[in-house]
Structure 1
Amino acid sequence: MMSDKEKNQVEDRTRRTFLRNSGFALGGIVIGGTVGSLLGTTDTKNESNVNTESGAPVANPNVALMFFYPEEYETTMAAAERIFPKNDLGPGAMELNAGIYIDHQLASQWGVNARDYTDGPFYKPEPTQGEQIKVLRKDLFRLGLKGLDNYSNENYQTNFADLEAAEQDEVLTAFEKGEGPSLSGVSTSDFFKLLRQLTIEGIYADPLYGGNKEMLGWQMRKYPGTYMSYVKEIKSDEFVELDQQSLHSHMGHS
């Protein structure tokens, strides 16, 4: 007979296997109702969607919301798309999953200013010191999204995500200039700077962080990505164009 300790160990392994294979261990909200995407039923470049041991689909954190409510995510995607819109050169922020990148950053320790010194005295910062704002990044972003909707409803009688592209540009331009409602004492321009920064990061950061879907952001720039060495290419007398490679390429899938 098995001892109580052995029984508990078996039950614990079974529970962990179930959670891993079902995806229930993953925090966040499935976006767009695409449960199949969460479980990895569609292939993505340089990603493994199947557990090699059990053959079961595994959870893909890149399609789960960890910070935004669905309506906040919709507003974020609409705003990011106007900052980096789709055109003849390639996809826009929405298609590149910049919204997912932003969501994951705000849900992280970075979102709560974990490594920032935020206690006084707060003197006027020098240009090299950046903005000294007494508000968490995640709170500033959430206030900014609400401000976008409030400003849009006041001037266009509808939420920001429902505006025409030209109207969205007008709202974002106003925020960039610091116009519009005060965000609990913080300027709308501070929110716009954060929005723009995160959007650009979401387009060009390594796909491991949720954005730059299928390295399409890099492809538009012909940036090769995270190769371990370029010694051979540097020695070449001709320009060498490399296929994109992400951090996933250096990680074994299990």
Structure 2
Amino acid sequence: MAEENQDGMTRRKFIQNTGLVLGGAIGGGILGGVIGSQTDTETMDDNTAGNENNANGTNGDTETHQEARVFFKRQQDFDVLRSATERIFPEDDNGPGAIELGVPYYIDRQLAGPWGLNAKEYMDGPFQEGEATQGSQTRVPRGDMFLIGLRRINAESQSRFDTSFYDLEDAEQQNEILQALENDDISMPGFTASEFLQTMIVATMEGAYCDPVYGGNRGMQGWQMKEFPGAQMAYINVIEDDEFHAMDPVSLHDHHS
């Protein structure tokens, strides 16, 4: 078990309560439990080193030849995304982090599709500030939101620490910038910084726990951490048993191979 951070939240406890993040509980300080669970900066150094090679799929240990950027044209933008998602879902003794799980590529694929264009959502005006219960009211598509948001993160890093976000050697400096997003201390055009951060956190969690056919949860390692069985065909043989049955997870792809 990882040591508890100052909020008393271990990574394992966080994984068990992931629904809190998916429910949008940013304002309650959940980010402190997410990005504060990794205090060892050496892990971040290893993850951010060699981003150029990793992002292009040349590291056979962590990425596959099927992974390639579709949405992000600039390597720099993708490197910021990689580092930001790793701070949101860091590697530790309990399992891999966002980079090893393929989360950045999951987000890249989603942004290249209808989700990134808000294709199935009503996006015409008039635009006005809505209630908190009404969700996003921005006219900015998610694809543009990510490009703007990631570049603002990098610009903030250059301003505060005179280096790119993905080259920061101190994980606490990266946490500081993400905390500034949560507090809306970084200006964004057409949407708030906290709205962008919440969108990125939700996308990160989806990438960590989705079926691998969608580009994330590489090797079903996210499911293995939660002991989630995946896309089993049936539970008829165990449904009436009282004890817990550990199962090897099954992907949708396994039913077609």
Same-fold status (TM-score > 0.5): yes
Equivalence for 1:174 = 180
User: Contact (CA 8 Å) 1:31, 1:70: kept in 2 or not?
Assistant: no
| Equivalent residue in structure 2 for 1:80, among 81, 85, 90 | 85
Paired residue secondary structure (1:231)? coil
Cα distance, 1:123 vs structure 2: 4.5
Paired residue secondary structure (1:190)? helix
Would you say 1:131 and 2:139 are equivalent positions? no
Equivalence for 2:115 = 110
Paired residue secondary structure (2:81)? helix
Q: Distance in 2 between matches of 1:228 and 1:146?
A: 43
- Mark the CA change 1:232 to 1:126 in structure 2 (over 3 Å): closer, same or farther: farther
| Equivalent residue in structure 1 for 2:152, among 147, 151, 170 | 147
Structure number with larger C-alpha Rg: 1
| Equivalent residue in structure 2 for 1:205, among 191, 197, 210 | 210
Q: Counterpart amino acid of 2:137?
A: Q
The number of residue pairs the alignment matches comes to 204
Structure 2, unpaired ranges of 5+: 1-52
Cα distance, 1:60 vs structure 2: 5.2
Structure 1, unpaired ranges of 5+: 1-29, 45-58
Paired residue secondary structure (2:120)? coil
Larger mean CA deviation between 228-237 and 107-116 belongs to 228-237
- Mark the CA change 1:123 to 1:149 in structure 2 (over 3 Å): closer, same or farther: closer
Q: Distance in 2 between matches of 1:153 and 1:97?
A: 26
Q: Distance in 2 between matches of 1:175 and 1:240?
A: 41
Q: Distance in 2 between matches of 1:194 and 1:92?
A: 18
Cα distance, 1:104 vs structure 2: 0.3
User: Contact (CA 8 Å) 2:57, 2:68: kept in 1 or not?
Assistant: no
Equivalence for 2:68 = 64
User: Contact (CA 8 Å) 2:94, 2:225: kept in 1 or not?
Assistant: yes
- Mark the CA change 1:187 to 1:128 in structure 2 (over 3 Å): closer, same or farther: closer
What is the TM-score when the length of structure 2 is the normalising length? 0.73
- Mark the CA change 1:80 to 1:185 in structure 2 (over 3 Å): closer, same or farther: same
Q: Distance in 2 between matches of 1:31 and 1:91?
A: 15
Equivalence for 1:89 = 94
Cα distance, 1:125 vs structure 2: 2.9
User: Contact (CA 8 Å) 1:31, 1:64: kept in 2 or not?
Assistant: no
- Deviation by residue 1:108-145 (Cα, 9 ceiling, x = unmatched): 11100000001123354344421111100000000001
- Mark the CA change 1:175 to 1:67 in structure 2 (over 3 Å): closer, same or farther: same
Q: How does 1:1-254 map to 2 (within 5 A)?
A: 32-34=55-57, 61=66, 63-68=67-72, 69-163=74-168, 164-180=170-186, 182-252=187-257
User: Contact (CA 8 Å) 1:208, 1:248: kept in 2 or not?
Assistant: yes
Q: Distance in 2 between matches of 1:154 and 1:32?
A: 25
Percent of aligned pairs with the same amino acid: 42
Q: Distance in 2 between matches of 1:139 and 1:33?
A: 22
- Deviation by residue 1:78-120 (Cα, 9 ceiling, x = unmatched): 0000001111111111111100100000001110000000112
Q: Counterpart amino acid of 1:65?
A: R
